[in-house]
Amino acid sequence: MLFRGYSLEEVKRAEDFFKKRVNGELDYAQLLSELDKPYREGGLGLWKQKAKSVADAVEGMVFENFELSLAHEKLAKNPSTTLKEEIENIRKWLLEIYKRELSQFQMDSFDECLENRLRNIITGENFVRVLSMSSHDGGIGFSIPDALRIYDRLEMLLSTDKKITNIKEVDNNL
């Protein structure tokens, strides 16, 4: 959702910057500079406010990646930590951008949907569909824009976090 309306080339360049930040090749200031630098000079050419917003989002994911790495280590050392706890942690992070309270039923439904997405039982499209479906119809009840923002945030996390695959593998072996 961060780059809807941008060309494929611009999105690829942004992904390269994100990967470099996640891998530690760029720090926050360097990422911000690359996002703000004019496109023809090798940057992305975003306006300062948009560049800062994107850099902040990536930085949040870098921090979350670090937290998930710690959680993975904790899970490996303490197998009594359940996948349920990890899913709850991911849910809390994904919903930081959502300002309304969810009922216990909605949180349970979200966790189930998230687990199914992490295990690739459902597609991204079905994940968004369940998030945006009315809770009376078995969904969670997010607006479509909110569901898309949550989905984009999850997919960005999954594409940048190599540890989450290991968490799923550990869970499958339990």
How far is it, in rounded angstroms, from Cα 149 to Cα 96? 11
Is the same domain home to 89 and 173? Answer: yes
Whether residue 32 is found in the same domain as residue 115: no
Determine the structural domain holding residue 121 and report its residue range. Answer: 82-174
**Cβ atoms of residues 97 and 153 within 8 Å:** yes
What is the distance between the alpha carbons of residues 7 and 124, in angstroms, rounded to a whole number? 21
> Which of 78, 98, 131 delimits the end of a domain?
78
Question: Is 74 in the same domain as 86?
Answer: no
pLDDT in tens, the chain (174 residues): 456 677 888 888 988 998 888 788 988 899 999 999 999 999 989 889 988 988 888 887 766 666 556 555 665 666 555 778 888 888 888 888 787 888 898 999 999 999 899 888 999 999 999 999 998 888 899 999 999 989 988 887 777 544 444 444 333 433
Does 149 lie in the same domain as 131? yes
Task: Give yes or no: residues 9 and 71 share one domain.
Answer: yes
Q: Are residues 42 and 123 in the same domain?
A: no
Q: What is the pLDDT of residue 75?
A: 55
Query: What is the value of pTM for the model shown?
Result: 0.51
Question: What is the phi-psi region of residue 7: left when phi exceeds 0, alpha when psi lies from -120 to 50, beta otherwise?
Answer: beta
Domain boundary among 78, 110, 143: 78
Q: Rounded to whole angstroms, how far apart are CA atoms 66 and 22? A: 10
Residues 52 and 33 in one domain: yes
CA-based diameter of the chain, in Å?
A: 52
141 φψ region: left (φ > 0), alpha (ψ -120 to 50), beta (else): left
